[in-house]
Amino acid sequence: MSESLVVRPAAGGPDVEAIQRLASKLWPAGWHPGGLGWALARDALADEVVVAVDEPGGAVAGWASRGGHDVGELHAQVDRGRHDIAAALVHWMVAASTSFTGPVRLPVWDGARELQSAVEGAGFAPGGRDEWSGLIRMAGGAAEDRRRTVSGYAIRAVGESKRERAERVAVHRAAWRPASIPYIDGRPVDPTAESSFTAESYDAVRAVWLYEPHLDLVAIADEGEFAACCIGWLDPATGVAEIEPMGVAPDHRRRGLAVALCLELAARVSALGGVEVFINGSPNSAYPAPSSTYLKAGFRIVERATTYIRGSGVSPQT
């Protein structure tokens, strides 16, 4: 590793934006910068995130993260041609994961040749292909789809008033309350658990690069109740928008609101000059509702990455 190369903890807003901008540059070989910003703003991606720079104060040329001690989940992105950055970040990830009790898993995106070379050299083995698939659709054409509207509901951008923002947080929390999520595999769920999303989380998300209030949508019942919500993140550099998150409150499910929100978002993205709408997720037999909805809305599945796996307790290569 170059003596001037620094791997250091990510530090707040400027580093988050730098990580997002690197993701934009590398798209589609990695995260979409919108969904990445959503996760980083809420400290929801991992327990620890680092960035790699050529020297103290230099530009971010790569980043990596690790999950909690019981979840061996790693993530990384590396600028094109930077095999030295890839090697440094893989070294960090291996060292940071020695406390995991089981194997560690790292998605390597199609086209991320530098990262692929580094992880294979560190003893990671390729695993499955389907876990880090995505769904994508053309933005154009959604404006003419009648499913953009649902009888008894209005779909619009969230307002700026304190009350509206509070209702926006509340409907997200209702949609993502763990016990209300329609898993079908019988997994144990704490009935008292609540969503971690708060007013402070929402403020942090709204401050992230690429957040656009016009693409922060809600579905509101005729009687005034907030029923569903989603955020679209349009990256003008690529013309691709990501939907993250999407949620429908339990009392309003199975009425077509998620499809309508997808199509309204796609129509707005097209009007802003975007060409595609993307969702970072793959069909899941234990939780089939999301992918089923997106397929109904005209999305198609695209494979995007190979999951690489490495056993725990192995010393990092030098």
Q: Among 188, 169, 170, which residue's Cα sits nearest to residue 178?
A: 188
Q: Is 311 a member of any domain? A: no
Q: Tokens at residue 168, please?
A: 């926006």
* 187, 281: one domain: yes
Q: Is 316 a member of any domain? A: no
Pick from 102, 126, 150: which residue ends a domain? Answer: 126
Q: Tokens at residue 41, please?
A: 């703003």
Three-state SS annotation for 86-110: HHHHHHHHHHHCCCCCCCEEEEEEC
Tell me the mean pLDDT per 10 residues along the chain, length 318.
83 94 97 97 93 91 83 92 97 89 91 97 92 92 95 97 97 95 83 94 98 98 97 98 97 97 98 97 84 94 94 48
* 10, 152: one domain: no
Q: Are 227 and 221 in contact (CB under 8 A)?
A: yes
Q: Is 310 a member of any domain? A: no
Q: Is 308 a member of any domain? A: no
The Cα 7–Cα 225 span in angstroms is 47
Give me the pLDDT at residue 211, please: 98
Q: Are 234 and 213 in contact (CB under 8 A)?
A: no
Three-state SS annotation for the chain: CCCCCEEEECCHHHHHHHHHHHHHHHCCCCCCHHHHHHHHHCCCCCCEEEEEECCCCCCEEEEEEECCCCCCEEEEEECCCCHHHHHHHHHHHHHHCCCCCCCEEEEEECCCHHHHHHHHHCCCEECCCCCCCEEEEECCCHHHCHHHCCCCEEEEECCCCHHHHHHHHHHHHHHCCHHHCCCCCCCCCCCCCCCCCCHHHHHHHHCCCCCCHHHEEEEEECCCCEEEEEEEEEECCCCEEEEEEEEECHHHCCCCHHHHHHHHHHHHHHHCCCCEEEECCCCCCCCCHHHHHHHHCCCEEECCEEEEEECCCCCCCC
Q: Among 216, 286, 204, 213, which residue's Cα sits nearest to residue 246?
A: 216
* 101, 172: one domain: no
* 152, 291: one domain: yes
Q: Is 45 a member of any domain? A: yes
Give me the pLDDT at residue 318, please: 37
Pick from 96, 126, 156: which residue ends a domain? Answer: 126
Give me the pLDDT at residue 313, please: 43
* 227, 104: one domain: no
* 27, 142: one domain: no
Pick from 103, 126, 149: which residue ends a domain? Answer: 126
Q: Tokens at residue 292, please?
A: 């089923």
* 79, 153: one domain: no
Output the CA torsion sign for 259, 262, 266, 267.
positive
Give me the pLDDT at residue 52, please: 97
* 116, 164: one domain: no
Q: Is 312 a member of any domain? A: no
Give the count of domains, the chain. Answer: 2
Q: Is 289 a member of any domain? A: yes
Give me the pLDDT at residue 60, please: 96
Chain position carrying tokens 């009790």: 101
Residue 79 sits in a domain whose CATH number is 3.40.630.30
Domain ranges, residue 106: 6-126
Q: Is 112 a member of any domain? A: yes
* 143, 260: one domain: yes
Apex 94 CA angle, 96 and 57, nearest 5: 65
* 70, 218: one domain: no
* 115, 181: one domain: no
Residue 156, sorted as left (phi over 0), alpha (psi -120 to 50) or beta, turns out to be: beta
Q: Among 273, 263, 271, 316, which residue's Cα sits nearest to residue 293?
A: 263
* 36, 56: one domain: yes
Residue positions counted in the chain: 318
Q: Are 27 and 33 in contact (CB under 8 A)?
A: yes
